[in-house]
Amino acid sequence: MSEVVEAPVSSNESLSKYVQEMSIDGDEPPPRYIVKEFPNPSPPSASIPVIDLSLLSSAEVLGKLKSALSSWGCFQVVGHGILSSFLDKIRDVAKQFFALPTNEKVKYARASYDIEGYGNDPVLSDKQVYDWCDRLFLNLIPQDSRKHHLWPTNPTEFREVLDEYSVKMKLMVELLLKAMARSLNLEEDCFLKQYGDQEVMAARFNYYPVCPRPDSVLGVKAHSDGSVITILLQDQEVEGLQMFKDDQWYRVPILPHALVVNAGDQMQVMSNGIFKSPLHRVSTSSENDRISLAVFHLPNAEVEIEPVKGLIDEKRPQQYRKLKNYAAINFECFQSGKIALETVKI
Ligand SMILES: O=C(O)CCC(=O)C(=O)O
Ligand SMILES: [Fe+2]
């Protein structure tokens, strides 16, 4: 199952109550939030690789990057040059936004047919198990795709901080995609040039309220991201993210000023299956609420992507077909219970 980015919502149905309201009212999670098969509710912590971005010119660090992405499909990045105080600031404005009363937040509510804006899990399928999470989803790039009326003006610095963060994320994505190419002995622009300046970037602020049933309810169900690359700012104090590797779930520890980077499904396609788009999920907590910010980077829906030629040979034939608009593929698969990546395999 993959995460839907930029997909339309299939029905006009909306969930009646925000998760935050259920949490405040002390409601039992309704049956549609209960995960029937919930393997490893309390998995061990894992030391996922930590990469220093300022050392990416070293062959050793590039080797570590390649190994991280071909095993875990993710790593924590440090040495990224973004001030800790700025990361704290963005967490702070997000916290302030979700702490506003509902009647203030709904000024930015998503339309029932859209995912952009403030809201709870969009209803995409009648078999869907809902996530214990409210979110604020905003397009960042291209600039003219921004729906400014959905960008909070409370707290007052929200827009300015998010805009500044988007500039930093764009630079970081470029650096990472070039390093990822070099780690495979490819020309450094081989991923980026597939979609030129036709890139899309979107931010999803996730708010996970306290949940009375952490053993049977997930903040986000197991999924892989449909992006090329995702950069995640975790909560500074509350863990929740879990990664799946070698048939086992692992908790991702918090490194307060690191960002978690993971390859998305479209990177698995472009790297001809060498880099893995990891399955991940988010647990809930009965003690603490949690906030995270995911920035998804992907090509515009019109652009075709395909496995890089230099990664195709007799030993490793082409594994995925040329495709475009992965979000739409993802969306259809979500509704029919299929795994999107499987459907684009050759
Ligand atoms: O909250 C997290 O740690 C992860 C969220 C996530 O996986 C997503 O937004 O796609
Ligand atoms: Fe995700």
* 265: nearest Cα among 328, 175, 221: 328
Does the pLDDT value for residue 51 go beyond 50? yes
Token pair, residue 280, equals 């991940």
The atom number, within ligand 1, closest to the CA of 230 reads 10
Residue 260 has pLDDT above 80, yes or no: yes
Which atom in ligand 1 lies closest to the alpha carbon of residue 296?
A: 10
pLDDT for the residue 12: 41
Ligand 2 centroid to residue 280 C-alpha, Å: 6
Q: How far does the centroid of ligand 1 lie from the alpha carbon of residue 241, in Å?
A: 7
The string of pLDDT tens digits covering residues 137-153 is 999 999 999 999 999 99
Return the H-helix or E-strand segment holding 260: strand 259-263
Q: How far is the CA of 313 from the centre of ligand 2 (A)?
A: 31
Ligand nearest to the CA of 283: 1
Q: What's the CA-to-centroid distance between 150 and ligand 2, angstroms?
A: 22
**Mean pLDDT (the chain, rounded):** 93
Condensed to tens digits (0 to 9), the pLDDT of residues 171-211 reads 999 999 999 999 999 999 999 999 988 999 999 999 999 99
Q: Position of tokens 């929200």?
A: 158
Q: From the alpha carbon of 280, which atom of ligand 1 is closest?
A: 7
Segment among 97-101, 114-118, 225-229, 296-300 with least mean pLDDT: 114-118
Q: Residue 140 in contact with residue 201, Cβ under 8 Å? A: yes
Closest C-alpha to 35, from 176, 223, 270 = 223
Side-chain-facing half-sphere of 60: CA atoms under 13 Å: 4
Instruction: Give dist(CA 174, CA 180) in Å, integer.
Output: 10
pTM of the model: 0.94
The alpha carbon of 232 and the centre of ligand 1 are apart by a number of angstroms equal to 7
Distance from the CA of 30 to the center of ligand 2, in angstroms?
A: 23
Ligand nearest, relative to CA of residue 293: 1
Nearest atom in ligand 1 to 241's CA: 3
Tell which atom from ligand 1 comes closest to the C-alpha of 208: 1
171 φ/ψ angles, rounded to the nearest 5 degrees: -65, -45
pLDDT for res 125: 81
pLDDT at 10: 44
Query: CA quadruple 177, 162, 204, 232: dihedral positive or negative?
Result: positive
Domain ranges of the chain: 2-343
Smallest-distance ligand from the CA of 206: 1
Tell me which of 1, 4, 137, 232 to substitute to probe ligand 1's pocket, judged by most ligand atoms within 8 Å of the beta carbon: 232
Ligand (nearest to CA of 218): 1
Contacts 24+ apart (CB under 8 A), 274-277: 274/69, 274/70, 274/184, 274/311, 274/316, 275/69, 275/70, 275/73, 275/180, 276/69, 276/70, 276/71, 276/72, 276/73, 277/73, 277/224, 277/225, 277/341
pLDDT per position as a tens digit, 272-329: 999 999 999 999 999 999 999 999 999 999 999 999 999 999 999 999 999 999 999 9
Contact 252, 241 (CB under 8 A): yes
- The rounded distance, in Å, linking the Cα atoms of 240 and 262 is 16
Q: Is 84 exposed, middle or buried (0-12, 13-18, 19+ CB in 10 A)?
A: exposed
Residue 14 in 3-state DSSP?
coil
| pLDDT value of residue 324 | 96
Six-digit token string for 334: 């979500």
Nearest CA to ligand 1 atom 3: 241
Question: What is the distance between the terminal CA atoms of the chain, rounded to a whole angstrom?
Answer: 18
15 pLDDT band, cuts 50/70/90, is: low
- Please give the Cα distance from 19 to 33 (Å, whole number): 10
* CATH number corresponding to 2-343: 2.60.120.330
CB atoms within 10 A of CB 312: 14
CA dist., res. 161 & res. 111, Å (int):
24
Residue 204 Cα: closest atom of ligand 1:
9
Residues with CB under 6 A from ligand 1: 3, 204, 206, 220, 225, 232, 234, 240-241, 280, 282, 292, 294
Q: What is the mean pLDDT of residues 65-77?
A: 98
Helix (H) or strand (E) segment spanning residue 119: strand 117-120
Confidence of residue 114 (pLDDT cuts 50, 70, 90): confident
CA of 284 to the centre of ligand 1 (A): 12
